[in-house]
């Protein structure tokens, strides 16, 4: 579905974003962002004063020019703010267009109650209808397979080209509308009404049409509004104070001061940060049902993980070779490999791979003419018959013991004990014999996915507790938990045990995340603060969760958690940077306003700005251009590294706090150097001097 390497801003996104920046100037829309709405009101007032300077006359002959210049800069500030949001939305809409191409009005074979078939439009299907889908046909809507088995191409949704097998019953019966049946046939019971399918929800969410502000976003927006109101009060009270000090301040200067002091930077980027957070999750092929779900990922304290498929591969693979007394281990390895050369099962392939790793010199070409004996439920063993009559077998302990006994062979005294020890650890013992001699055991176990222990350690550094759930016995669970590096485990776990584990953690004030794919996982997914369902899972699991992984990779939860953390860090970092900016702008504008009337305030002009007018204009320009400069950071997110909260706070305060103070000092000074000559040409820089001479 998503190209993870798409350009930051394509030509199409750029065009739509520029158009969107102008369309969003509508005051009705701007009221949704109170901070920028205040800027828009300031722009309108300055624009009116540019054409009608006598409305509020301040004694200057150049008021129109100055007011026009301020209004232009404010207009550009608004455009940059709207552009940031439009870019974020544009990236989402580009993804939505790809999905819309998948959503087609197709024909569906609806099966009536009497068994007859009628052909209707997929848009006319209702929840509960049963349809027949044959090879080469598009599944018309979401549903559950009630009959049949088929390979289904889900590349339109997931981006994965390899077909997946779906069948009735179990946890892999769910199908998604818009996917293609590439083999056989299936009967599907439709589980959603028109316009409510998974694809419809994806399109809506990706477009941002149904995006709601998250709790943290609402809280921060409230803070920004409060700061704006405070600075408005400051500006209003500043005017009479200035008059008392014989300082006449123009309305445009007051508006410029207000715009520079209110948190316009974060106000402009706040919505874009939220949209970009969901966009990053989507580009990871995870659909978040709300921005709240993504945000909650950033606050997760505990992760509940299934063992099979998440921590382990789910296939029992060869882990070790255990020889019996009197047999050399190298001989066991050699014969185990020979017995598995033509065995295409995961057990057989893993046996060959492990033997090679341990130095086996067996050449497969030497055994091409040998006869392979397949595993059957009755024999419980497989193997190979060599041309010289030698029979090599591997299988369950019981089957091999019976095979050896029938041929008059001896059973090693230590065999039973070694078989039982492997079984107690939750492994599967495959006994290997050659003719009537037992050589040893192939130890099969559910293998932990590589690199997981390092990733769990990474999570541990940021304070996230991991709990593994498994149906294995306590001894097996403890062994796998130790190997994987999880913090805890629940052995012999039932579905209700997962819910209890989640409730227990939540009772301690923890935010809990978990993954699942089956109907039995649905209650736990609903109970968890962050529930990630697999796209291959049942409809009930996907409905109960607040996130769906299109790739059906349970380990994806680890990346999603980090994306959530990154979203919160990005928002916090840019808020810190925005507020820190005000310090520099304060030192730029306040001295500019009062220095001529109160010479003692010249000491505050630490940047050495050339004139009052150039100082105000420079601060205003910097306030505008910093917004597009920060758009890439808002889109990409601040780089996230696992560390303690205190260390992370210290680092961000150093980079975005101190950096937010230093950057404007440099930027405003450089802009002032460029702007001052221009204002001289326009005759604006003398404006304040003229005013103060008249006082």
- Give the residue numbers marked as catalytic: 306
Q: How far apart are CA 474 and CA 478, in angstroms?
A: 6
Distance CA 124, CA 112 (A): 14
How far is Cα 294 from Cα 274, in angstroms, rounded to an integer? 9
Supply the angle between the helices 397-406 and 415-424 in degrees, to the nearest 10.
Answer: 160
**Is residue 607 within 8 Å of residue 672, measured between CB atoms?**
yes
Here the tokens at position 423 are 């079984």
> Can you read off the two tokens belonging to residue 2?
């998503």
CB 598 within 8 A of CB 608: no
Contacts 24+ apart (CB under 8 A), 18-25: 18/83, 18/86, 19/86, 20/82, 20/83, 20/85, 20/86, 20/89, 20/90, 21/79, 21/80, 21/82, 21/83, 21/86, 22/79, 22/82, 24/82, 24/85, 24/86, 25/78, 25/79, 25/82
DSSP state at residue 413? T
Q: What is the 3-state secondary structure (H, E, C) of 524-551?
A: HHHHCCEEEEECCCCHHHHHHCCEEECC
Distance between terminal CA atoms of the chain?
68
Q: How many CB atoms are located within 10 Å of the residue 218 CB?
A: 11
Return the axis-axis angle of helices 251-261 and 556-594, rounded to nearest 10°: 150
Q: Is 118 strand, coil or helix?
A: strand
Report residue 431 as tokens: 């006994």
Cβ atoms < 10 Å from Cβ of 485:
17
Nearest to 217, CA basis, from 282, 280, 266, 287 = 266
CA distance 598 to 591: 9
Backbone angles phi, psi at 132, to 5 degrees: -105, 130
Q: What is the dihedral of CA 206, 207, 213, 215, to 10 degrees?
A: 0
Listed residue (309, 301, 302) closest to 470, CA to CA: 309
């Amino acid at each position: 579905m998503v190209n993870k390497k798409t350009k930051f801003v394509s030509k199409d996104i750029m065009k739509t974003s520029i158009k969107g920046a102008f369309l969003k100037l509508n005051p009705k829309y701007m009221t949704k962002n109170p901070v920028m709405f205040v800027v828009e009101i300031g722009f309108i007032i300055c624009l009116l004063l540019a054409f009608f300077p006598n409305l509020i006359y301040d004694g200057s002959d150049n008021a129109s020019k100055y007011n026009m210049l301020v209004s232009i800069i404010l207009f550009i500030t608004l455009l940059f703010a709207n552009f940031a949001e439009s870019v974020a939305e544009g990236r989402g809409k580009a993804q939505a267009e790809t999905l819309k191409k998948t959503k087609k009005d197709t024909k569906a074979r609806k099966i009536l109650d009497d068994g007859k078939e009628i052909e209707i439009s997929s848009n006319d299907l209702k929840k509960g209808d049963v349809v027949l889908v044959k090879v080469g046909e598009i599944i018309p809507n979401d549903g559950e397979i009630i009959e049949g088995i088929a390979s289904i191409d889900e590349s339109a949704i997931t981006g994965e080209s390899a077909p997946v097998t779906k069948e009735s019953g179990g946890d892999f019966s769910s199908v998604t509308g818009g996917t293609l049946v590439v083999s056989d046939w299936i009967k599907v019971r439709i589980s959603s009404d028109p316009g409510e399918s998974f694809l419809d929800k994806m399109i809506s969410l990706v477009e941002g049409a149904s995006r709601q502000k998250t709790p943290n976003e609402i809280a921060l927006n409230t803070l920004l509004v409060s700061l704006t109101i405070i600075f408005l009060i400051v500006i209003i009270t500043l005017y009479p104070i200035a008059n008392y000090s014989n300082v006449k301040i123009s309305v445009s200067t007051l508006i410029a001061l207000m715009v520079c002091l209110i948190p316009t930077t974060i106000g402009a980027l706040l919505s874009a940060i939220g949209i970009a957070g969901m966009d990053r999750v989507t580009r990871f092929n995870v659909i978040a049902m709300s921005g709240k779900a993504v945000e909650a990922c950033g606050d997760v304290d505990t992760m509940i993980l299934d063992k099979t498929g998440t921590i382990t591969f789910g296939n029992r693979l060869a882990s070790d070779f255990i020889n019996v007394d009197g047999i050399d281990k190298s001989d066991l390895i050699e014969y185990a490999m020979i017995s598995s050369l033509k065995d295409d099962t995961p057990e057989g392939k893993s046996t060959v791979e492990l033997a090679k790793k341990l130095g086996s010199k067996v050449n497969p070409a030497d055994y091409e003419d040998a006869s392979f004996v397949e595993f059957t439920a009755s024999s419980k063993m497989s193997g190979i018959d060599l041309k010289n009559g030698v029979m090599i077998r591997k299988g369950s302990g019981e089957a091999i013991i019976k095979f050896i006994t029938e041929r008059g062979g001896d059973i090693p005294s230590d065999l039973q004990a070694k078989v039982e020890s492997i079984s107690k650890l939750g492994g599967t013992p495959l006994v290997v014999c050659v003719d009537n001699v037992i050589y040893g055991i192939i130890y099969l176990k559910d293998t932990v996915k590589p690199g997981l222990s390092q990733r769990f350690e990474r999570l541990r550094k940021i304070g996230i507790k991991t709990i593994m759930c498994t149906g294995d016995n306590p001894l097996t669970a403890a062994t796998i938990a130790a190997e994987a590096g999880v913090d805890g485990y629940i052995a012999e776990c039932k579905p209700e045990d997962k819910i209890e584990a989640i409730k227990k953690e939540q009772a301690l004030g923890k935010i809990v995340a978990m993954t699942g794919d089956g109907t039995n996982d649905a209650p736990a997914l609903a109970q968890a603060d962050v529930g990630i369902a697999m796209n291959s899972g049942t409809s009930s699991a996907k409905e109960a969760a607040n996130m769906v992984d299109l790739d059906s990779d349970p380990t994806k939860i680890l990346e999603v958690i980090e994306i959530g953390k990154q979203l919160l860090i990005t928002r916090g970092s840019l808020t810190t940077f925005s507020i820190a900016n005000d310090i520099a702008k304060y030192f730029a504008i306040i001295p500019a306003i009062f220095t001529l009337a109160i010479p003692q305030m010249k000491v505050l002009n630490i940047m050495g700005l050339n004139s009052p007018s150039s100082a105000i204009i420079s601060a205003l320009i910097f306030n505008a251009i910093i917004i597009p400069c920060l758009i890439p950071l808002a889109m990409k997110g601040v780089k996230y590294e696992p560390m303690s909260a205190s260390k992370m706070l210290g680092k961000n305060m150093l980079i975005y706090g101190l950096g937010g103070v230093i950057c404007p000092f440099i930027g405003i000074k450089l802009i002032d150097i460029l702007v001052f000559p221009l204002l001289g040409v326009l005759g604006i820089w003398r404006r304040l001097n003229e005013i103060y001479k008249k006082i």
